[in-house]
Amino acid sequence: MLTTMSRPKVLVAMKLVPEIAIDLLRKRFDVEVCDSIPITRTEMMKKVPGKFAIFCSALSKIDEELIKTAGSSLKVVGTISVGYDHVDLTAMKKYGVRLGYTPHVLSETVAETTVGLLIATTRRFFEANHALKTGGWKDVTTVVWMNWMCGRGIRNSVVGIVGCGNIGTSIARKLKTFDISQLLYTSRTEKPAVKALGGKLVTIDELVEQSDFIILSIALNEDTKFIINRERIAKMKSHAVLVNIGRGGLIDQDALIEALQENRIGGAGLDVMTPEPLPLDSPLMKMDNVVLLPHIGSASIETRAEMAILTAKNIIAVLDNTAMPNEVKY
């Protein structure tokens, strides 16, 4: 039996991780949990030397400097996220550090958030709620009632999903029940599950031109950065609603802001943006045709617990020299 002194060390670089996941780690590791939210870079750099593992969220940048500072003891980073654009994979590979992540367990929750955000944006829930709370409702006479707070419905519309992995497929399944007229999607290869729903594989340009609702559920990497650029925004229908639950970097945000300000598209529902948190003086904050959420796609109590347990299991697998439940291969 190893003594506590000789046990490998894990840094949990975030607060309030469910106890069930911390307990799993404590059985095998000497666990240090950070007590500031969010953990600062300076604190991270101070705490990583000598650690075997880092348990972190997408808010922590894992780059070469940090990996070098951790030293040769560092064998695994477990990120409690499906996205890993905050991790420098080249540096991880160079120093032989493995990466665990949390796909699958959050797909349904993120898909639920997406559908909610889509409806809230196109049916103007937040604008209507604001009007109600600030006295705007009392002024609605029968003359303006016909159009007041009307938005475009989802039934009979063309929905385009950019990136049809687990999350995109779940969104497709949910939106099919809304009696949409056509489901378009982009993917590197045809997805049998989406095809079975009637989904048509198209190019990104066909998708942006033909869709009434455009949903981004694709990972951010070199190939997908600014996949929604100025040119593609210009090709969108004038009533198109763009929903992003991937990463802010998928969109040229300045070009999007211009298009929204000039009412060249219908609106945008963004769970992710650039930067995060979005500064309060961002023009996006002032727009009625924009719904913003603070990156809460996977934020259900049950899902976050599952993500935490999976992250712990990914880390423990490296100690046991067994296959990680979910490893990023490089």
Residue 231 and residue 251 in contact, taking contact as beta carbons nearer than 8 Å: no
Rule CB under 6 A: is residue 249 a binding residue for ligand DGY? no
Residue 310 and residue 316 in contact, taking contact as beta carbons nearer than 8 Å: no
Rule CB under 6 A: is residue 81 a binding residue for ligand DGY? yes
The window from 68-76, 77-85, 196-204, 282-290 that contacts ligand DGY (CB under 6 A) reads 77-85
CA distance 255 to 227: 12
Q: How many CB atoms lie within 10 A of CB 25?
A: 24
Rule CB under 6 A: is residue 308 a binding residue for ligand DGY? no
- Please say which residue, 82 or 99, places its beta carbon nearer to ligand DGY: 82
Indicate the pairing of strand 30-33 with strand 53-56.
Answer: unpaired
- Please say which residue, 106 or 228, places its beta carbon nearer to ligand DGY: 106
Residue 29 and residue 311 in contact, taking contact as beta carbons nearer than 8 Å: no
The window from 76-84, 135-143, 163-171, 228-236 that contacts ligand DGY (CB under 6 A) reads 76-84
Rule CB under 6 A: is residue 303 a binding residue for ligand DGY? no
CA distance 182 to 214: 12
Q: Using CB under 6 A, which residues numbered 45 to 74 contact ligand DGY?
A: 58
Conformational region of residue 214, where left means phi above 0, alpha means psi within -120 to 50, and beta covers everything else:
beta
Rule CB under 6 A: is residue 114 a binding residue for ligand DGY? no
State the DSSP code for 185.
Answer: E
**Stretch 203-222: interaction string toward ligand DGY, x if CB under 6 A:** --------------------
Rule CB under 6 A: is residue 326 a binding residue for ligand DGY? no
- Nearest distance in Å: CB 295, ligand DGY: 6
CA distance 79 to 192: 29
Number of residues binding to ligand DGY, judged by CB under 6 A: 7
The window from 60-68, 80-88, 117-125, 143-151 that contacts ligand DGY (CB under 6 A) reads 80-88
Q: Which amino acid would we find at residue 159?
A: V
- Nearest distance in Å: CB 239, ligand DGY: 28
**Stretch 280-299: interaction string toward ligand DGY, x if CB under 6 A:** -----------------xx-
- Please say which residue, 249 or 297, places its beta carbon nearer to ligand DGY: 297
**Known catalytic residues?**
295
With CA atoms as reference, report the closest residue to 112 among 64, 157, 173: 173
Side-chain-side CA neighbours of residue 56 (13 Å): 27
**Residue 253 structure tokens:** 């945000």
Residue 78 and residue 100 in contact, taking contact as beta carbons nearer than 8 Å: yes
Q: What does each C-alpha distance from 21 to 5, 140, 314, 329 come to in angstroms?
A: 21, 52, 11, 24
- Please say which residue, 102 or 210, places its beta carbon nearer to ligand DGY: 102
Determine which residue in the list 8, 78, 83, 168 makes contact with ligand DGY, applying CB under 6 A. Answer: 83
Rule CB under 6 A: is residue 180 a binding residue for ligand DGY? no
Q: Order of strands, edge to edge, in the sheet holding 53-56? A: 30-33, 9-12, 53-56, 76-79, 98-100, 327-328
- Nearest distance in Å: CB 31, ligand DGY: 22
The window from 1-9, 44-52, 81-89, 165-173 that contacts ligand DGY (CB under 6 A) reads 81-89
CA distance 89 to 101: 13
- Nearest distance in Å: CB 106, ligand DGY: 6
Q: Using CB under 6 A, which residues numbered 3 to 42 contact ligand DGY?
A: none
List of residues contacting ligand DGY (CB under 6 A): 58, 81-83, 106, 297-298
